Chains A and B, each alone.
Chain A
Amino acid sequence: MSTLLPLELIDKCIGSRIHIIMKNDKELVGTLLGFDDYVNMVLEDVTEYENSSDGRRVTKLDQIILNGSNITMMVPGGDIPDS
């Protein structure tokens, strides 16, 4: 089995639901339409989760381009693990 480069893993996720964890405890779930070398991502049917001291805030979005500079992790599959 050959190793999968990080960006190849992301490429395999195109067209499927992914879960993104941002540096500042925000999380997003959406369908990945595309990305670039900076890991900026185009996402569709997005749900944004903001965890703050007074609970969780949820925002639905149509299509977005997400700035890659604050992404810390990406999990294939659209489930929120905890919650």
Chain B
Amino acid sequence: MTRKTSTSDFLKQLVGRPVVVKLNSGLDYRGVLSCLDGYMNIALEQTEEYVNGQLKNKYGDAFIRGNNVLYISTVKRRV
């Protein structure tokens, strides 16, 4: 028997943790998730922007509009 994880529970778990946010355009953002909402709008801290795996920019804080988000992933380790 498998237990169902609701999407909102998963989103709540992510707050305060380091995450990777991938956009539909292919850009990756790594940072600490400070909060998010049901549209997948995201506020990140210590944000790093990666293009094709290469660090391109750093932002102290960043707001990402949810419609651009492909997925939000947990990170086990920083590569």
Q: A and B: direct contact (Cβ < 8 Å)?
A: yes
Given the complex, which residues of B lie within 8 Å of A33, measured CB to CB? 4-5, 10
In B33-79, the 8 Å CB interface with A consists of: 40, 66-67, 69-76
Given A67-B69, A70-B24: A36 and B8 within 8 A (CB)?
yes
Q: Complex: how many Å from CA A41 to CA B69?
A: 13
Q: Contact residues of B with A, CB < 8 Å?
A: 2, 4-11, 14, 20, 24, 26, 40, 66-67, 69-76
**A65 with B10, Cβ < 8 A, contacts A34-B4, A34-B5, A70-B70 known:** yes
Q: Contacts A24-B24, A34-B6, A42-B7: A64 and B73 contacting too (C-beta < 8 A)?
A: yes
Contacts of B24 in A (CB 8 A): 24, 70
- A interface secondary structure, majority: strand
